Amino acid sequence: MKDVAHKVVLITGGHSGLGKCMARLFSQLGAVLVLWGTNATQLRAAAEEISRETGNAVHWFAVDVTDRALVYRTAQAVQSKIGPVDILLNNAGLVSGKSIFDASYDDALAERVFAVNTTAHLWTIRAFVPEMMRRNEGHVVCVSSAGAMVGISGLAEYCASKSGAFGLNESLRRELKSRGCDGVHTTVVCPYFFNSGMFRGVQSRIIPIMDEKYVAECIVRAIREERQFLGLPRLIHYFPLFLNAVLPVDVLDKVYDLFGLSKAMHSFVGKAKI
């Protein structure tokens, strides 16, 4: 597996939830961490906590990843102060959790969901990947979602935005290959629901809701193994693509109803972002 000791690992949304879990694991492996997020207080606390536990350097920058100019400025500051980023982990996520026909649906929040979940990946890729290409060394990780492959009722903008991130990173992989940058790797992660605050209250039949720490461990392992795609749980790795390819739409809908995807969000009480 890839040794990440002394490698610079930048994690967006790294101050809480899944991002913080992955940050802790990378720091335990000896990586130099750079945490990005919008909440300076939480960022400072997370950085100090992880650094105290592991004895390794943890840097943090308050960044709204939807602000293109701020992303570019902060990226320059990171590379000047700390050095080239070896692993870019686009983890920050946002969800509204409402039906698009709900009377209280927030149009502005829906736009921000796309900005955080999709467009922000473009800004961070443009900010950090050219240097990876110049060195022909690096790794770009996209935390997408099983919802990128399966539309879920009540998660229209979330599924669409995660699908956009998936497509962006697939295109990135092919573009890197076409330019001969075989030392720059990509990994797209599509997890099912897990027990973070982001999806608090969600219910699932048949497929159990996963533990956040387990998801973090699987992602870090996939990065170190330089896997191009990770579906979690393993069923997600193959099942949606197979079903979409072989089943008629009406039968497919019944299968997803059986899994509880039509009503999974009815009990949603989660917070908007991580």
Most confident of 150-159, 199-208, 223-232, 251-260: 223-232
Note the pLDDT tens digit of each residue in 143-159. Answer: 999 888 877 778 899 99
Classify residue 47: in a domain, yes or no.
yes
Exactly one of 105, 158, 214, 238 is catalytic; name it. Answer: 158
Active site residue 256: no
Q: What percent of the chain has pLDDT over 90?
A: 70
CATH code for the domain in which residue 182 is found: 3.40.50.720
**Residue 230 to residue 260: CA distance in whole angstroms:** 22
Classify residue 15: in a domain, yes or no.
yes
For strand 87-90 and strand 229-232, is the pairing parallel, antiparallel, or unpaired? unpaired
CA trace torsion 4, 10, 16, 22 (10° rounding):
-20
Classify residue 274: in a domain, yes or no.
no
Q: How many domains does the chain have?
A: 1
Classify residue 272: in a domain, yes or no.
no
Query: Residue type for 12, please?
Result: T
Give the range among 162-171, 216-225, 234-243 with minimum mean pLDDT.
Answer: 234-243
**What is the maximum alpha-carbon separation in the chain?**
55
**Residue 68 to residue 73: CA distance in whole angstroms:** 9
Classify residue 132: in a domain, yes or no.
yes
**Cα angle 104-113-164, degrees, rounded to a multiple of 5:** 130
Classify residue 2: in a domain, yes or no.
no
The range of the structural domain enclosing residue 40 comes to 8-267
Classify residue 115: in a domain, yes or no.
yes
Distance of alpha carbon 109 from the chain centroid: 19
**Residue 20 to residue 7: CA distance in whole angstroms:** 17
Q: Please, what is the average pLDDT of the chain?
A: 88
Note the pLDDT tens digit of each residue in 109-126. Answer: 999 999 999 999 999 999
The phi and psi torsions of 187 (rounded to 5 degrees) equal -140, 130
Note the pLDDT tens digit of each residue in 63-115. Answer: 999 999 999 999 999 999 999 999 999 999 999 878 889 888 899 999 999 99
**Residue 161 to residue 141: CA distance in whole angstroms:** 16
Q: Which residues make Cβ contacts (< 8 Å) with residue 47, sequence separation at least 6?
A: 15, 33, 35, 58, 59, 60
**Residue 240 to residue 118: CA distance in whole angstroms:** 21
* pLDDT the model gives residue 155: 86
Classify residue 1: in a domain, yes or no.
no
pLDDT at 185 over 80: yes
